[in-house]
Amino acid sequence: MSDAASEIARLRAELAAQTARAQAAERDLAQARALASCTDAMIQELKLEIAKLRRDKYGTSSERRARLIDQLELQLEELEAAATEDALAAEEAAAQDTTSTVRAFTRRKPVRKPFPEHLPRERVVVEAPTNCSCCGSDRIVKMGEDVTETLEVIPRQWKVIQTVREKFTCRACEKISQPPAPFHTIPRGWAGPQLIAMVAFDKYGQHQPLNRQSERIAREGIDLSLSTLADLIGHACAALAPIHELIEQHVLTAARLHGDDTTVPLLARGGTKTARLWTYVRDDGPWGGSAPPAALFKFSRDRQMIHPNKHLAGWQGVLQADAYSGYNDLYLADRAPGPARSALCWSHARRKFFELADIAGNVRKNKPAHDISPVALEAVKRIDAIFDIERAINGMNADARLAMRQARSRPLVVELHTWLLEERARMSKHNSVAKAIDYLMPPKGDRWGAFTAFLDDGRICLTNNAAERALRGIALGRKSWLFAGSERGGERAAFMYTLIVSCMMNNIDPQAWMADVLARIPDITVSRLPELLPWNWKAQQEAVKAA
């Protein structure tokens, strides 16, 4: 029995040693990642300084050199934000074990200059103690104060908030009493939540790169470098990560999702390459569902099938998307935890016919108005009749929608199917209308079943427009921010778009929400984090207004 006990003790000791080694390896990895990120940021900052010095030395820069400086500034912006995230992760990993020795690394952080004297100061005095914190005596007198200045922004009005913590000394025991320092969104609290929210929303919601923001802020009398603003973005992402995780969980617990993707230029050696931003949208409003809408964004370097498989690993339900073959693995019968069900978009199918029957479009292109396909025009009319029914039942509960579709939509869909088959039999495979029909009913594969899935499920929408609406802002803003500076930059953009678009889907001002969350999240417990989700936050704001 003693031998067994000693063997158990030995195994426990080995397990504890292995666990300690694994934790140490994780800490070392976080430190190495932070060191590498900081080094990359330093190198990029030096490259930018060299490029600017050359421009100053050789006079007005050429268009090519100007583009190079813009490119270097964007790369520095992404690297600075990544360095901040990695440094915070390293500090968090080191804080978990106070007995370990953390390997130091240096980072060329932006030098913060004193706030301009012309800015108004607003003193926020932390409530002073009335008794000595040591002996409890009330014989305390003020001996000084500590002032922390935080740069904050009121819409287009800058000010410095001075948080004052008065010090008192006890005449009975000579001890000093002072209220504890409040928690800040970022260490030492030099930037207020309103400022951080403004910079983040302008970059991702208004598509204004940080170098342009820095120039605009400088014109208002405040000197905030690109590196300083990038540092704020990194802190914002680190602070909002728990909220992003909750939104992701909310989206991936839906029984029905809209999926789509759009192109994103990604900076690469020798130019740019085409990367992708994917979105998965939960929107139960069309069938009267009670779950709030939200969108989840993901970034990838390409459009390979592996990405949607990774994004939706462990999810099962109805996926509303276009006919992109990259989703096909999700529909396999042997997929774990089970096959997803495909529901294809009728807007995509209608668009192919409409392009061949667009009279106004032909006129704009100086083509004869009568130069259209009568078969395509008839197909558009028949599909529009189905859309008319959908508009009438939008917002009804799933059972009512299903009953209406069975009674009114199914006969139209059956007639459309028969008519398309008859027309397709008269056409060659090279006919443009035949290609539009083949999108609905390809010669190989059963795509028609995915197009008609809405007839058997009242929750399914006729289109994938919810996902396209979520991507609309990105498509409109691409010309402003030109490209993603790095893969980490693309992932950071997807992170912020998840927060911003989810707010917009709930009719919330993303900047106001972000500022309030950044102000409250340092003091909130983990169990109360769901209170900061956009839809819960909105309910709280409405309750306050009503009161």
**Domain assignment of residue 367, yes or no:** yes
Give the span between the Cα atoms of 196 and 515, in whole angstroms. 7
Domain count along the chain:
4
Q: What whole-number distance in Å separates Cα of residue 364 and Cα of residue 60? A: 43
Does pTM surpass 0.95? no
Residues 505 and 422 in one domain: no
3-state DSSP assignment of residue 485: coil
70 contacts 133 by C-beta, under 8 angstroms: no
Dihedral, CA of residue 437, residue 442, residue 446 and residue 449, to nearest 10? -10
DSSP 8-state class, residue 191: B
The pLDDT of residue 63 is above 60:
no
Q: Is the pLDDT of residue 62 over 60?
A: no
Separation between Cα atoms, residue 188 and residue 47, nearest integer Å: 29
Task: Name the one residue in this structure whose structure tokens are 């990838």.
Answer: 300
Q: What is the pLDDT of residue 99?
A: 52
Among residues 423, 458, 493, the one where a domain terminates is 458
Does any domain span residue 359? Answer: yes
Residue 205 lies in a domain: no
Domain check: are 504 and 440 in the same one?
Answer: no
The dihedral sign for the CA sequence 463, 464, 469, 473: negative
What domain range includes position 69? 12-95
SS3 label, residue 142: strand
Burial of 488 (0-12, 13-18, 19+ CB in 10 A): middle
**406 and 474, same structural domain?**
no
CB 254 within 8 A of CB 282: yes
In a domain, 136, yes or no: yes
| Residues 129, 85 share a domain | no
Identify whether residues 145 and 91 lie together within a single domain: no
Residue 237 · residue 491 · CB < 8 Å: no
pLDDT-derived band at 25, boundaries 50, 70, 90: confident
In a domain, 231, yes or no: no
Residues 449 and 312 grouped into a single domain: no
By DSSP bridging, strand 157-170 and strand 176-177 are antiparallel
Token couple for 289 = 């569902």
- Do residues 340 and 365 both lie within one domain? no
Chain segment 444-494, per-residue pLDDT in tens: 878 999 999 999 999 999 999 999 999 988 877 766 665 666 888 889 999
DSSP 297-343: EEEESS--THHHHHHTTT--SEEEE-S-GGGGGGG-TT-SS-PPEEE
- Is 196 in contact with 518 (CB distance < 8 Å)? yes
Whether residue 446 sits in one domain with residue 392? yes
Query: What's the pLDDT tens digit per position in 269-292?
Result: 767 788 999 999 999 999 989 999
% of the chain surpassing 90 pLDDT: 49
Same domain (yes/no): 259, 319: yes
- The residue whose two tokens read 């139209």 is 412
Q: Give me 531's structure tokens.
A: 């209170």
- Domain boundary residue, one of 402, 429, 458: 458
Helix axes 2-57, 63-95, angle to 10 degrees: 160
Q: Tens of pLDDT along 136-193?
A: 898 888 888 888 888 888 777 889 988 899 999 999 998 999 998 888 777 777 889 9
Q: Is residue 365 part of a domain?
A: yes
Question: Rounded to the nearest 5 degrees, what angle is found at the Cα of 203, between the Cα atoms of 197 and 209?
Answer: 140
CA atoms of 356 and 358, how far apart (whole Å): 6
Whether the Cβ atoms of residue 480 and residue 276 lie closer than 8 Å to each other: no
Residues 131-140 as b/e (b if ≥16 CB within 10 A, e otherwise) read: ebeeeeeeeb
- Read off the pLDDT of residues 207-231 as tens digits, 9 standing for 90 and up: 888 888 999 999 988 999 988 899 8
